[in-house]
Amino acid sequence: MTAAEPLWHPSPNFGPRRQGRAPALIVLHYTAMETAAAALERLCDPVHEVSAHYLIGKDGRLWQLVAEDQRAWHAGAGEWAGQGDVNSRSIGIELDNRGTHPFPEPQMRCLEGLLGQIMTRWRIPPEGVIGHSDMAPGRKLDPGPRFDWQRLSRGGLARAAGVASAAADPSPQAFRQAARQRGFTAEVDDATLLETVRLRYRPWGRGALCAADLAPLLD
């Protein structure tokens, strides 16, 4: 699947990647704004000091705001797989969505095409496609519970969740160890970690930690 040709809409909010790093991650966001036009204005406003490499509208329109070899300001504080400065290690994609409704088909098709191209250009594996909430647990929720991670994983565009069933409910320590092995290394309390992993793999999950929470983290 190929992505639409992006419309160049440059943002002043970027800089060089620190220490010459190349992108190894792709971070997905939602804009939490009413329209793509409002998001474009915000992402290109030097006062707000935020940006992303790409923005995808609900109708599948694609804008590029920052060149991929540059450091956009989209991720903020957090870490993934023990590494900080996620901005220098990643490409950020904003999706026009308030976080309260499903992501439309034209938008998802455009995202799939764009992800495939970026992953090929920079040799980023499916495990390198993460949500903003994954690397900033407790601080960010996007792309949120309405985002279809399973669709991406079926297409080889995100890590596929494990389906093995644990024999018994895991301890918080065992769950944390498995989560860290999958990249969730930011220092948060047990409740926040559980909420973060559920948001990615089973947003319908409720209640205490259980075997179903551990299963997606397993091979």
Active site residue 187: no
List the helix and strand counts (H, then E) for the chain: 8, 8
C-alpha 190/C-alpha 3 separation (Å) is 39
- From the centroid of its chain, how far is CA 39? 17
Candidate list 94, 105, 112, 187, residue with the active-site label? 94
The residues that are catalytic are 94
